[in-house]
Amino acid sequence: MNLESAVRLVALACVLGTVASLLRMDAALRPCRTDHGACARDGVPPCGPRLGPWQVARSRRSGLPPARSNSACVLGERSDGTPVVAIVPQAQGTSGDTLLSRRQAPRQDRQRASVRLSTRALIPDHWAFALAGSFLDDDARTACAGLQVHPPVNAGYALIGSNWEARPHGFYFERLADACVFDGRRSECGGVAPFVAHEFVPGETYVLELALRREAADWWLEATIEQVDDDGRPRELGRMSRTVPAPCWLAPDDPGRALVLVIPAADAAGKAPEARVEVVDFAWRE
């Protein structure tokens, strides 16, 4: 083989690699289906594990096909081409799908992201939007001395929205790895207990901005919460901040990812077949 032929082969390989990458990207943006609720539709292919800017994560022992999403799908796209990802209720006892951002945070010690969530037909038990996120499967090991971390489990610093009966309705912070709610009720989660009161109803849309940053020896978790009306006008509901320990579940060279999860209300699928939380406009911010 002469030099010219070798150069042509290398160029062809590069082109084919680019085309394959674009095809994978397009597949993540196209509408797709699962077997549940609003995601169960005819005429579109089954959902893979990549949905727009998100990657589905769940336990390897879930018994579900690893190459398929189970409770999340791309419903369609807006006029600007942005994919609308939906998380729908599934059977109780089934390992849920966690959405992890396909892009990592720029830095572990300074990260900020925003997302838009809309509830449709029924309010879920609760939802979470988190930074420094990861999914810890059964064989995961962490440097979290003193925390009760029991994989498989989601990990991250989360902003939670919920109408839980056990605490006031609204927004609060939680460390997902050990289900540590920062409400002052547990000594290891003591200190300031920031909270924004809100009574959730179906059909609402929220724009959430969450930040985690290190300042000297302190780590700060900060959130801004806006509600968007039917005309697209945002109204700030509140802001929250408090210091938190370092994200010990992340390796030093791992900045983490953004994370979204939804826990459905009991028998949500039976009560409202179209129940879902729509997730759009995710972005890392400076």
List, as one string, the DSSP characters of 56-113. EE--GGG-S-TTS-SSEEEEEE-TTS-EEEEE----TTSPPPEEEEEEEPS-SSEEEE
Asked whether residue 1 is domain-assigned, the answer is: no
Asked whether residue 7 is domain-assigned, the answer is: no
Which CATH number do you get for residue 201? 2.60.120.200
Q: Write phi, then psi, for 275 (nearest 5 degrees).
A: -60, 135
Task: Tell me the residue range of the domain where 256 lies.
Answer: 31-285
- Asked if 45 contacts 33 with a C-beta cutoff of 8 angstroms, the reply is yes
Asked whether residue 211 is domain-assigned, the answer is: yes
Asked whether residue 8 is domain-assigned, the answer is: no
Q: Which candidate, 237, 258, 263, places its Cα nearest to that of 111?
A: 258
Asked whether residue 78 is domain-assigned, the answer is: yes
Asked whether residue 99 is domain-assigned, the answer is: yes
**Whole-model pTM?**
0.89
Mean pLDDT throughout 128-138? 96
pLDDT at 189: 86
Count of structural domains, the chain: 1
pLDDT mean across residues, the chain: 89
Q: Write phi, then psi, for 19 (nearest 5 degrees).
A: -60, -45
R_g of the chain, CA atoms, integer Å? 20
For the chain, what's the residue count? Answer: 286
Asked whether residue 16 is domain-assigned, the answer is: no
206 Cα distance to chain centroid? 14
The H or E element that residue 23 is part of is: helix 3-29
pLDDT tens by residue, 233-273? 999 999 999 999 999 999 999 999 999 999 998 888 788 99
Asked whether residue 15 is domain-assigned, the answer is: no
pLDDT tens by residue, 67-78? 899 999 999 999
